[in-house]
Structure 1
Amino acid sequence: MTAGPDAASGGTTYRILLIEDDEGDALLVEELLHDTGLRFELTTRATLAEARSRLAAGAPIDCILLDLHLPDVSGIDAVAAVRAMAPHTAVIVLTGLSEAQAGTDAMAAGAQDFLVKGKVEADLLHRTVRYAVYRSKTERASAEAQAARLRAEENARLERGLLPQPILDTSTVRVTSRYLPGAAMALLGGDFLDVVEGDDGLLHAVVGDVSGHGPDAAALGVCLRIAWRSLVLGGHRGDDLLHLMERILIAERGGRHMFATCTLLTLDQGAGTATLHLAGHHEPLLTTDEGTQEVAAAHGIALGILPGLRSWPPTVVALPPTGALTLYTDGLTEGHNGASSERLGVEGLLTLIEDLPPTDPAVHVDLLIERTHKLNAGRHSDDLAVLRLDWGDRPARP
């Protein structure tokens, strides 16, 4: 590696990779770089294979000076190969005096600029390197902004499907829901939730999690959420509802080995009861004046694991006149518990809840998510869905 005379004096230092098999031409390029006054670090490789090894080493490169005639590749193929290896790095092609069209073709293939050997002066090389690096960074920033915009639009579409507007007619239950992707700038995953008040006057809720991440899991999560809402409004309940959801999951997953866990909840505020069906999912949390604890409920099998088994026993839970039920996916508990290598788990989650100040339900959920993320410190990236249902004094039964 060769460093420019001012490379240690601060300011911008250009990390340049020269791919040139002619030692004389390589020496001329190095001398020209010294004459430009640029701060630079120069690495020279004689073949594409050697350049590939250098780029694979991981150390960043700002600009590649590429000879079009290498022992193992030549012409536009050389440009395409280098662009494939370093798609976000500025590429300047070095052409011969007799290759009038080669430079233009190279730029059409993705190079930022070209220089003709024998006609390059220090000032020209100085400008070309600076502008090529600038254009490359601008193009990369533009591509990242475009990708972020498309990802945001996709997330918005998925969120409308995974986080619908609750259908509440006469119910006085307050609904708080949150959904977060597992990683920054990531697509939403397969977690889903929904709340519907049926024609029977009861409040029905679901929280579920499709195995896997990404658009396939999200699409299946949206499908199951819409299916659940349609089936509930059509009068299906409990075991029958889960059986139909499983049939839909099997039909929609195609050849992919995907399954889903979920918790179904039917809240009868008048009777003061909640009926639970757990399909491979964990129990919800019950908050009363005495604190928060996990509800004891019978477990059933996840949807799609053993189709046709239909093992989803119901559990009826007595509710206090005032309280809250929180349903959630495992993204809330599978993160790390601070500096420890252990997962937070339900016990850690309950400890966090005990330490939270009494506050509005929505603020309470936000604080809980914030503190689990702080403890996890970015070491776990599962999606997270939380649904909290709060009720006050229930009306007397007629």
Structure 2
Amino acid sequence: MAATPGEATDEPLYRILLIEDDKGDALLVDELLQDTGLRFELSTCTTLAEARPDLDAGAIDCVLLDLHLPDVSGIDAVTAVRTRAPHTAVIVLTGLSEAQAGAEAMAAGAQDYLVKGKVEAELLHRTVRYAVYRSQTERASAQAQAARLRAEENARLERGLLPQPILDTSTVRVTTRYLPSAAMALLGGDFLDVVEGDDGLLHAVVGDVSGHGPDAAALGVCLRIAWRSLILGGHRGQDLLHLMERILLAERGSQPLFATCTLLTLDQHTATATLLLAGHHEPLLTTAEGTHEVAATHGIALGIAPGLRTWPSTVMPLPATAALTLYTDGLTEGHNGTTGQRLGVEGLLALIEQLPQTDPAAHVDRLIKETHALNAGRHSDDLAVLRLDWSQTPARSARN
């Protein structure tokens, strides 16, 4: 029976497109469908050209396709339909004298075939149901395969942007988190890293490449790897930032990309930290008294004014027990879904004060969750967070 509006039933509704130029055959198919007991909506076209809007819309479950149309015939008809609607079941209608046509059509991608004049309602019922089921199974399998490939590619990119910290003797606890802005995105342009150098100093970086997409992500990976290599090669301070800027200029090509970053060098023996800000905001310092933004001198972002090399350093004493959090502006650029106001650093600090003092990793996760909720579940920018925790003195603290 045809679909009845408002009818309550567990039987699925099959949206069927009949492409048949013979009016008599089209009427026969319609009558057979009425006798199958299927719930269906039938649309009829006489040419492939007429059927293209329905195929392109993707709202068809099954195509009943005559192999001899005015504008296309044979295997070419099957190929044309499958090209426009690759996840739609196709059942070919053949003539009595076309013994091989059905098998060839299935080899070309059709789910099944029926011979005109030898089709009964029960056979049509079974053929439509099985064809749609097979098509849906193939689609689910293809989506699963695509998801696996995307996950593998994502893992490879994550190894570039989110490397394992190199910590030999340091006992500072390191917590890192990364969240790309776009749904189903692989990764964005934010990057972070932590390395203990041969000099015994702990070095950290958090950075943000302007823009989104593969160009920003590729440049972020490049800068992260360059930073690690340069740190291990003994480069420090303004010299390090100058070399990173040269690499950025070479790698960005004609793209108007720039990058901001915070460099941190933590001396575990003197209990001091040295900061260099290249267009980036200050980190947050958390102690038993609360959390506040560190006062530090700002420098220019990489790639904005090449050759200027204005990156002053700030040296700060480290409390006996505390934590430093470096982050990108994806943590503060969200807007409250109720008030519409931007969170900002002040809003972020107020939110931190409301959160319970828990394990550092749990605290970072909760903070990201709360900022996400305030932004009504949207992420307008990528997000990277790097937190360093120590107790008593950095040299005697515990690392995860």
- Normalised TM-score (structure 1): 0.89
User: Which residue does the alignment assign to 1:385?
Assistant: 384
Name the SS for the 1:105 alignment partner: helix
In structure 2, C-alpha distance between the alignment counterparts of 1:84 and 1:336, rounded to whole Å:
43
1:126-165 to 2 correspondences below 5 Å: 126-165=125-164
- What's the CA shift for 1:185? 4.3
In structure 2, the CA distance between the partners of 1:335 and 1:42, relative to structure 1 (3 Å rule), is: farther
User: Which residue does the alignment assign to 1:330?
Assistant: 329
User: Which residue does the alignment assign to 1:48?
Assistant: 48
Question: Which shifted more, 350-359 or 211-220?
Answer: 211-220
In structure 2, C-alpha distance between the alignment counterparts of 1:160 and 1:27, rounded to whole Å:
60
User: Which residue does the alignment assign to 1:87?
Assistant: 86
Question: Which shifted more, 318-327 or 297-306?
Answer: 297-306
Question: Which shifted more, 71-80 or 153-162?
Answer: 71-80
In structure 1, C-alpha distance between the alignment counterparts of 2:71 and 2:282, rounded to whole Å:
62
Post-superposition CA distance 1:103-158 (Å, at most 9, x none): 33332332222222222221221111111111111111111111111222222222
Q: Is the 8 A contact 1:286 1:324 kept in 2?
A: yes
User: Which residue does the alignment assign to 2:398?
Assistant: none
1:1-398 to 2 correspondences below 5 Å: 3-4=2-3, 8-11=7-10, 12-57=12-57, 60-183=59-182, 185-380=184-379, 382-394=381-393
- What's the CA shift for 1:364? 0.7
Give the alignment's Cα RMSD to 1 decimal. 2.6
- What's the CA shift for 1:215? 4.5
Q: Is the 8 A contact 1:7 1:41 kept in 2?
A: no
- What's the CA shift for 1:57? 5.0
Aligned residues between the structures: 394
In structure 2, C-alpha distance between the alignment counterparts of 1:379 and 1:21, rounded to whole Å:
50
In structure 2, C-alpha distance between the alignment counterparts of 1:71 and 1:299, rounded to whole Å:
72
Name the SS for the 2:185 alignment partner: coil
Question: Percent of counterpart pairs with the same letter?
Answer: 82
Unaligned runs of 5+ in 2: 396-400
Post-superposition CA distance 1:324-370 (Å, at most 9, x none): 11111223223332334444332322222111001111111111112
Unaligned runs of 5+ in 1: none
Post-superposition CA distance 1:172-207 (Å, at most 9, x none): 322111123335543122322111122232211001
- What's the CA shift for 1:76? 3.2
State the AA in 2 paired with 1:350: L
- What's the CA shift for 1:374? 2.5
Post-superposition CA distance 1:11-57 (Å, at most 9, x none): 21111122233332222111111111111111223333433323455
State the AA in 2 paired with 1:53: P
- Normalised TM-score (structure 2): 0.88
Q: Is the 8 A contact 2:372 2:378 kept in 1?
A: no
In structure 2, C-alpha distance between the alignment counterparts of 1:48 and 1:280, rounded to whole Å:
58
Q: Is the 8 A contact 2:209 2:219 kept in 1?
A: yes
- What's the CA shift for 1:171? 2.5
- What's the CA shift for 1:230? 1.2
In structure 1, C-alpha distance between the alignment counterparts of 2:93 and 2:308, rounded to whole Å:
68
